[in-house]
Amino acid sequence: MLMPREEALKLVKEHLPNKNLRKHVYAVEAVMRTLARKFSEDEETWGLAGLLHDLDYEDTKDTPDQHTFLTRDLLEKHDGINEEIIHAIQAHADFVERKSLMDKAIYCTDPTTGFLVACALMHPSKQLSAIDIEFIKRRFKEKRFAAGANRDQMAACSEIGLELDDFLMISRDAMVEISKELGL
Ligand SMILES: [Fe+2]
């Protein structure tokens, strides 16, 4: 049996005291769930990968080469986390080869959520629901805007067969669904 979401949430709250980091993993979870439904994959599995992918982020701030490895060690001590999820978590940071559709999905989703948050914050409305594709595409082309969001990694949505425009709007819509949690 898969780890229940409630239990994964407990781990998130325990390991990610930073509110913005927690919002980030909720956003990645939301997009991953939507993509799982779109591709008729297992929504709970994809959601868990999204929710848990940065569990060791704070603990590996000074040792980035350990990022995802601490998460792997921790999750291996818990029930309900399969090898598929662990592999996707390691794939998001490019530490293992992207093999499954879930690996490829989490890889492009990770920077995209942060990028969309930055877009919403830059919009006068400060609302995710207000940013349209033209606004998002303009920001995408501005290299200095949200420079931490790797554009090539976002464009790797081609690996899951999605055009960038579609992927950006699918991601935005998924995040709008949890706009209350995100505060945007
Ligand atoms: Fe992340």
In a domain, 162, yes or no: yes
* Structural domain boundaries, residue 103: 5-178
pTM recorded for the entire structure: 0.95
* Tens-digit pLDDT profile for residues 61-113: 999 999 999 999 999 999 999 999 999 999 999 899 999 999 999 999 999 99
Token pair 């890889």 is at which residue?
107
> 54: CA distance to ligand 1 center in Å?
5
In a domain, 184, yes or no: no
> 24: CA distance to ligand 1 center in Å?
7
The whole-angstrom separation of Cα 19 and Cα 152 is 27
**Overall domain count for the chain:** 1
> 83: CA distance to ligand 1 center in Å?
19
The whole-angstrom separation of Cα 109 and Cα 52 is 14
In a domain, 138, yes or no: yes
In a domain, 174, yes or no: yes
Using a CB cutoff of 5 Å, list residues around ligand 1, an ion.
54, 110
In a domain, 183, yes or no: no
The band of 174, judged by pLDDT with boundaries at 50, 70 and 90, is: very high
The band of 59, judged by pLDDT with boundaries at 50, 70 and 90, is: very high
Query: Which CATH number characterizes residue 36's domain?
Result: 1.10.3210
> 42: CA distance to ligand 1 center in Å?
20
Among 125, 105, 128, 108, which Cα is nearest to 116's?
128
The whole-angstrom separation of Cα 86 and Cα 106 is 12
Give me the mean pLDDT over the 163-168 stretch. 97
